[in-house]
Structure 1
Amino acid sequence: MPNLFDPIDLGAIHAPNRLLMAPLTRGRASRDGVPVAMMADYYAQRASAGLIISEATGISRTGLGWPYAPGLWSDEQVEAWKPVTDAVHRAGGRIVAQLWHTGRQGHSSVYGAQPVSSSATRTEGQAHTFDGKQDFEVARPLALEEIPGIIEDYATATRNALAAGFDGVQIHAANGYLIDQFLRDNANFRDDRYGGSPENRIRLLREVTERVAAVAGEGRVSVRLSPNGDSQGVDDSDPAAVFLPAVKALDAIGIGFLELREPGPDGTFGRTDVPPLSPQIRDVFSRPLVLNSDYDTRDAAQAKLDEGVADAISFGRTFLANPDLPERLRTGAPLNESNPKTWYSRGPEGYIDYPALETAEA
């Protein structure tokens, strides 16, 4: 069996190890979704990851519902991303852009319009906004004639990502965001060709992936799914019935790799008693499979490779606080603890000031 420090080809991207940096929303961009200079330092510090998956990045102004998150819909954003990808490449790394439409998981004060979703539903709780937390709003269901425009927004963001120097893209179809709101039956009550049967509910995912692959090439496209249990209020009564056909469709398209976020009953960020689907997905997906969620030790990550379920592991909060995580795991060095108070605090504290191993030892 491979170990975490063996190289792997993730489609067209050659990764020198199997420790990926998971997408981590940090809220450091401008109000208009333009990356800022310190983002280049942040990502370059973490270039020893086998592959960096960027923070979730909006495909359009009306698709980005998180305040101070970056986008990829404007020329200004493309130009501002170039120093980030250049810094990662100069440091020997690889980085793909995660493409994001938040759907109902945002607020009109951020979007500039009423949130949209598969159906007229509302997330419980409160949304992050430019003015603090506010109650989520009832989403407007996307009209059938609007969906081709959403698909084209993904294609435009893909072209912009490649122009900005990214090595590829990942389609964010997990965590209760727009595509997930189409996939799962407690959020999708449509009676047209995008609702009802699992075949219909996976249609948007399939069409987006086909369109993005036509722009970037299949080997430079990946997808993130969260198939087991509730995620920000989005859930399904029979996950296997929808996610196994979805994965088969992605396999047929030929994407470079698939990432699964699978929390367990003891998760620190999301918990569920719904068993992981990864063993079943492994049986129907022939390409590299990456697992994510609460892997914070070398042994826990390696165990999934030893079981033959995963080909690589993506680390989130552990990478946030440990820019040199692969070396720390390789040598058994102690890990920095992240400070939740600075996850979305906008400044450099808790962002680019976590010490690398040699600094900490000194």
Structure 2
Amino acid sequence: MALETSVLFSALNVGSLQLPNRIVMAPMTRSRTDQPGDIPNALMAQYYAQRASAGLLISEATQISRQGQGYSFTPGIYTQQQVQGWRLVTDAVHQAGGRIVLQLWHVGRMSHASFHADGQTVAPSALSPQAQVWVVGEDGVGRMLDCPVPRALTEQEIAAVIEDYRQAAAKAIQAGFDGVEIHGANGYLIDQFLRTTSNHREDAYGGSVENRVRFAREVVEAVAGEIGAERTGIRLAPFITQRAMNCPEIIPTILHLAKVLDGKGLAYIHLSEADWEDAPEIPDDFRHALRAHFSGRIIVAGKYDADRAEQIVKSGLADLVAFGRPFIANPDLPARLRHQLPLASFDPHTLFGGGAHGYTDYPSMA
């Protein structure tokens, strides 16, 4: 039986965009850029265009500067070559009838010395993330390597990073994107400022909730001021605990930030829910509180199937549902969900790096 009448397939406006359905492709790092220069290419354009039937595509995380990089072969949006490469992607998606936003990324301390001319990673405070990143060595082999202890950003450097976000947003529009999503989740730089476990600053960017939210607020103000709040969203992940991010104050901090974002008229909040097997459930009281603090659209992403997705949208606690891994092997995922067709499985060995195999060679169903 087809899900023709499911709320997942009803139209919805999100900021300045009119979407034909509520199914979003979540951002997923695939590390397929051209080297040197971390430049998006025609293969990536094919990959995204194959998945353009989603109501909205969110690009893989894209570093706003060389300093913002933490993994090998991930794309950037700070050179004209990268802008031109991304134009291949946006043109292909639009020709296929889709809509796509670029996820803006600065990893902060989730990085490796090899990505930095001075060998130093940066963060709000000089605290180890106790984590690893994927780095391709001179032998061409990718390995998970330990993140070093970062150095703390100065206030002058923080201002420069905020300017990098603004310029990256401008370049995203130049590259043809329909908007941007600011990556404020999963233990990366903005998230590091939000949490007491990663932010031990004693200046205007640390200590109180208002101070820890300041960096996120100033990034949002810079980006929305450049391209419009109606074309700006943000991803947040209040319930992650890995990467030394188990902050006892994060929930009230996220809700405070949500209220701030609501006042800025942001198009959406994208709630990144953990998708591993023993991940904590997101309590309904948090979902209701988020709704009370933020009047824009809410996207949720986690271990959703069609039934769970329909249930949460019907409940009013979310407006759209993002799917990640199911989109890898199912480029026509919306049609498969709508008609209750079987889902293909992806090859985990082809997730990062490589070519077309395990990337653009997954077929759609006839």
Q: TM-score with structure 2 length normalisation?
A: 0.94
1:275-286 to 2 correspondence within 5 Å?
Answer: 275=283, 277-286=286-295
1:55-134 to 2 correspondence within 5 Å?
Answer: 55-112=60-117, 113-131=119-137, 132-134=143-145
Give how far 1:316 is off.
Answer: 0.6
**SS at 2:260's partner residue?**
helix
CA contact (8 A) 1:63 1:111 kept: no
For the pair 1:303 / 2:311, whether they are aligned, the reply is yes
1:34 equivalent in structure 2: 39
**Alpha-carbon distance in 1 for matches of 2:102, 2:245:** 24
Q: Which moved more, 1:231-240 or 1:249-258?
A: 231-240
1:15 equivalent in structure 2: 19
Give how far 1:270 is off.
Answer: 7.3
**Alpha-carbon distance in 2 for matches of 1:209, 1:346:** 34
What is the aligned counterpart of 1:184 among 195, 217, 221?
A: 195
CA contact (8 A) 1:288 1:311 kept: yes
Change in CA separation of 1:89 and 1:352 when aligned onto 2, cut-off 3 Å: same
**SS at 1:179's partner residue?**
helix
1:1-362 to 2 correspondence within 5 Å?
Answer: 3-31=7-35, 32-112=37-117, 113-131=119-137, 132-263=143-274, 267-268=275-276, 271-272=279-280, 275=283, 277-295=286-304, 297-358=305-366
Give how far 1:346 is off.
Answer: 2.1
Q: Which amino acid aligns with 1:282?
A: R
Change in CA separation of 1:121 and 1:273 when aligned onto 2, cut-off 3 Å: farther
2:140 equivalent in structure 1: none
Cα deviation digits, residues 53-106 of structure 1 (max 9, x gap) = 000001001111110000000011001111110000000000000000001111
CA contact (8 A) 1:110 1:129 kept: no
Change in CA separation of 1:231 and 1:52 when aligned onto 2, cut-off 3 Å: farther
Q: Which amino acid aligns with 2:248?
A: S
Q: Which amino acid aligns with 1:285?
A: F
**SS at 2:9's partner residue?**
coil
**Alpha-carbon distance in 1 for matches of 2:132, 2:11:** 42
Q: Which amino acid aligns with 2:346?
A: S
- The two structures, once aligned, show a CA RMSD in angstroms of 1.5
**Alpha-carbon distance in 2 for matches of 1:169, 1:270:** 31
Q: Which amino acid aligns with 1:203?
A: R
**SS at 2:45's partner residue?**
helix
Give how far 1:2 is off.
Answer: 7.4
Length, aligned pairs only: 354
Q: Which amino acid aligns with 1:349?
A: H
CA contact (8 A) 1:117 1:140 kept: yes
Give how far 1:272 is off.
Answer: 3.0
CA contact (8 A) 1:194 1:203 kept: yes
**Alpha-carbon distance in 2 for matches of 1:163, 1:175:** 27
**Alpha-carbon distance in 1 for matches of 2:246, 2:358:** 32
CA contact (8 A) 2:41 2:88 kept: no
Give how far 1:118 is off.
Answer: 0.7
**SS at 1:4's partner residue?**
helix
Q: TM-score with structure 1 length normalisation?
A: 0.95
Give how far 1:345 is off.
Answer: 3.0
**Alpha-carbon distance in 1 for matches of 2:278, 2:59:** 21
Q: Which amino acid aligns with 2:16?
A: A
**Alpha-carbon distance in 2 for matches of 1:275, 1:192:** 33
CA contact (8 A) 1:4 1:302 kept: yes
Q: Which moved more, 1:252-261 or 1:338-347?
A: 338-347
**Alpha-carbon distance in 2 for matches of 1:15, 1:136:** 39
Give how far 1:269 is off.
Answer: 6.7
Q: Which amino acid aligns with 1:293?
A: G
**Alpha-carbon distance in 1 for matches of 2:263, 2:226:** 17
**SS at 1:227's partner residue?**
coil
Change in CA separation of 1:270 and 1:33 when aligned onto 2, cut-off 3 Å: farther
Cα deviation digits, residues 201-224 of structure 1 (max 9, x gap) = 010000000110011111000000
Change in CA separation of 1:90 and 1:194 when aligned onto 2, cut-off 3 Å: same
CA contact (8 A) 2:110 2:131 kept: no
**SS at 1:162's partner residue?**
helix
CA contact (8 A) 2:194 2:212 kept: yes
- Give structure 1 stretches of 5+ with no counterpart: none
- Give structure 2 stretches of 5+ with no counterpart: 138-142
**Alpha-carbon distance in 2 for matches of 1:232, 1:351:** 28
